[in-house]
Amino acid sequence: MLSSEYVPAETCELVNKVWNCKVFEHYGMTEMGLGGAVSCWTLEGYHPREADLYFEIIDPKTEAVLPDGEFGEVVFTTLTRKGMPFLRYRTGDSSRWLVEPCKCGSVLKRLDKVGDRKEKKGAYRSVDPDMV
């Protein structure tokens, strides 16, 4: 399992090749606590920790929630924190909700692979140029 804010596809491929193992990604950041979402055996997106975090995909300019399937900025709200909760914390990450059900059978939503927020040219995926 690789855990970070963003894992390039090349890193996953290299780990898979060197150790001949399936590579699972764990998307998260310090502000999320124990991490935010993890890939399942299908490796097609991340299932979020919906009991602890409420994720939204928003338009970065208007902050309006976008329909499932549309790319925008990932924001989250912590649901179980008492000492220092976060409300609609803006991550700067670009992603979308995948609309088709996951092949693993989970009822949890799926977040598409998150692009590297440090890439300001949108090289990972085509997004709104005003967002990056």
Span 50-59, pLDDT tens digits? 999 999 999 9
CATH architecture type of domain 2-111 = Roll (2.30)
Residue 62 has pLDDT above 90, yes or no: yes
Residue 121 has pLDDT above 80, yes or no: no
**Average pLDDT of 58-79?**
95
pLDDT value, residue 117: 56
pLDDT value, residue 90: 93
pLDDT value, residue 55: 96
Residue 12 has pLDDT above 70, yes or no: yes
Tokens 């692979």 — which residue? 113
